[in-house]
Structure 1
């Protein structure tokens, strides 16, 4: 196979295996079966077709529209699906929320000295959720995105309608919409009911991951 074709196949397989947890848990029999399957392949076309079939079975439309959004309906921004979403943002060249800095640049270790370059930001802060009876859902994965350290301090515990308005007025409508697209945020998310926001955002997160996967 041509080197570029190999790299593309490896990128897609690694991404699919990582975000779905394909090799987590008792995977030995699965892995052994794959090795046996590959050992019987005789040509580059057969090799490519084998992994294309496997990828098509794993990364289905239902995975992106149902399975992945459902897995994001969990507490804490951690685990394969959360980091898969962040990886997808990097693939698509996203910038940090309300910033001109590329997300990929600030994810590099040591990029900000002794302080963390990025923080996991609650899009709907604690005080806002507490006043509306949603505090128990504060750490839903759909409520997180990555912001730079200074912006996280600046936003503090303001309601979304307050802090988003400041940035929207400052950045302009085009930049606001770019931010929403790159962070899988519904346009006008700052005025949505929290549960409605979570449902819409998790769906958009699935769509963003799909776009990134198709670009690999």
Structure 2
């Protein structure tokens, strides 16, 4: 795979998932040293965790995405990438203080995946899922319509910033990089709530804009 060009000094990339990276980072418990990022893609969030001082195991089923993540990750950052499905991944036996899964849970069986993610936590550790759901009712439709305004505003703002700074649009720049595998979600938010109540007692499920949900669970001490 061709090595991607060095990143622009001005990061003007954005998508529906990175929009919530800040929200996910706020879920990281204090005093933890190890993190697991499942479905790491190009490694952007794994790098964000490492920059906060965490040692990160990052897992993705796509060999192309793991190659891209390694190419984009400076050697100084403590990130270990694995090409593996979650059930095959070599995880730290002592567990992780923080586990994240961004737009990846809907690629896997929901119940077993939630159990596997929770089992990877050390006592007191936190699991944070940013996921996609299948729309099924008026509330979902209304949430999608409300998201259009902020999405357009953000897009216009980024376009203006790129013009001012001369930064190319990453969506239009081809560096030989692989595309993140996509799949439409099959599980509704209601069904996700039922599964979370069964497999992650006490988890907090929240609908977000941009067709996403947040699921946060802390393993009891």
Give the structure-1-normalised TM-score: 0.26
Return the structure number with greater helix share: 1
Give the structure-2-normalised TM-score: 0.26
